[in-house]
Amino acid sequence: MVTSRRTYLQFAMAIGVAVALAASALAQVAPGAAFPPLAADGLAGGPLPDTSGKVVIVDFWASWCAPCKASFPAYSRLQGEFAARGLVVVGISVDESPAAYAAFVARLKPSFATLHDSKHALVALVQVPTMPTSYLVDREGKVRFVHAGFHGDATERELRSEIEGLLGGRAGAP
Amino acid sequence: MKRFPKKLIVLAGLAAMALAAGGCSTSAVRVRPWERAALADEVMNPNPDPLGAAMSEHVYFSRAAASGGQGVGGSGCGCN
């Protein structure tokens, strides 16, 4: 009787832990959280840029997403402007088709690194709220700002100011 | 035959229900933002030719002296 009770309690606890783990696995990456390591998720499409000790913008995009296309020139400008001071921009495509990914990159010729998350492993881990979404990650690998969507000059202005803060060591909250 | 305490059975039942209900949460059933390639396709646009649609509407207005009503459900039977 005691053994059965213990077994049932363990079973119930296991289910509880499974539910909690599932819930946490589906949680969005928010400011203050550590960004998942890019190297761990089998990204294809090119060599992984060196991001250690750098301020990193990780931008999730797709070839079928119009604002993503509009954001590429802005990210190219930011990469050109801040790379020497320690900024790395990485564009992660969530296209299902490798051909669509390759054609988009060939057409837009971004100056920053692009990778292909063909199995949606990383994007599912991060749980991006919309397309595109970019994460500004500080030198310690912690997410400092999240930009859901791309709103032209306004987003670029905000990013520039936030990057300046992080590169200059005057990063604001959180 | 062993009999299990009612409490434990209820507890196990609740845990199973929580697990089952978790599968119905919006995060589990909705199409994720990164999975919308097919939905973003041009063929899914309900109005792929706005200029053509505007011209058709103008012809309809000129012919029937009526305007609006596009997009309203029903077929004139008065049932909805």
Closest-CA distance of chain B to residue A98, Å = 13
On whether the pTM is more than 0.90, the answer is no
* ipTM higher than threshold 0.85: no
Q: Which residue of B has its CA nearest to A12?
A: B12
Q: Mind listing the pLDDT tens digit for each residue in B38-79? A: 999 888 988 889 899 888 888 877 877 766 666 555 555 655
Tell whether the model's pLDDT for residue A5 goes beyond 80.
no
Any idea which residue has 């509009």 for tokens?
A70
Please check whether residue A54 is in contact with residue A137, taking contact to mean a CB–CB distance below 8 angstroms: no
Tell whether the model's pLDDT for residue B80 goes beyond 50.
no
Please check whether residue B45 is in contact with residue A64, taking contact to mean a CB–CB distance below 8 angstroms: no
Residue among B15, B34, B36 whose CB faces A60 most closely: B34
Residues 27 through 46 of chain B touching chain A, CB cutoff 8 Å: 27-28, 32-37, 40-41
Average pLDDT value for chain A: 87
Q: Which residue of A has its CA nearest to B5?
A: A5
What DSSP letter does each residue of A68-121 carry, written as one string? Answer: HHHHHHHHHHHHHHHGGGTEEEEEEE--S-HHHHHHHHHHH--SSEEEE-TT-H
Any idea which residue has 């595109």 for tokens?
A132
User: CB-based contact (8 Å) between B53 and chain A?
Assistant: no
